[in-house]
């Protein structure tokens, strides 16, 4: 009688173990998917926000020079006032 009860318990435990194994596999797939989403979100963020912010200080002086705006420190408020005769 004791062995019959133990066999039933073992069968039930094996079923639960198989069920839990399937659930763990699903969680692993889901976590891998989330890791991949997070990685690509970080890559896209760096590509669209961080890199342009780093390049902007290098490009702005060239853009201003092409537009005729002086970015040097030699032309200040004093130079513009002296050209007005003040």
Q: What is the pLDDT of residue 3?
A: 82
Q: Does 53 map to a domain?
A: yes
Q: What is the pLDDT of residue 85?
A: 58
Q: What is the pLDDT of residue 62?
A: 86
Interval 2-38: pLDDT, tens: 788 899 999 999 999 999 999 999 999 999 999 999 9
Residues 6 or more apart whose Cβ sits within 8 Å of residue 71: 60, 61, 64, 65
Number of domains the chain is built from: 1
Q: Does 8 map to a domain?
A: no
Q: What domain range includes position 55?
A: 29-61
pTM attached to this predicted model: 0.56
* 33 three-state secondary structure: helix
User: Does the pLDDT value for residue 82 go beyond 80?
Assistant: no
Q: Does 48 map to a domain?
A: yes
Interval 48-58: pLDDT, tens: 999 999 999 99
């Amino acid at each position: 009688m004791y062995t019959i009860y133990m066999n039933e318990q073992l069968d039930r435990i094996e079923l639960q173990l198989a069920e839990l194994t399937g659930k763990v596999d699903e969680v692993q797939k889901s976590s891998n998917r989330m890791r991949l989403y997070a990685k690509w979100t970080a890559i896209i963020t760096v590509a669209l926000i961080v890199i342009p912010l780093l390049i902007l200080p290098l490009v702005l002086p060239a853009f201003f020079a092409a537009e005729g705006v002086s970015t040097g420190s030699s032309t200040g408020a004093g130079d513009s006032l002296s050209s007005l005769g003040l």
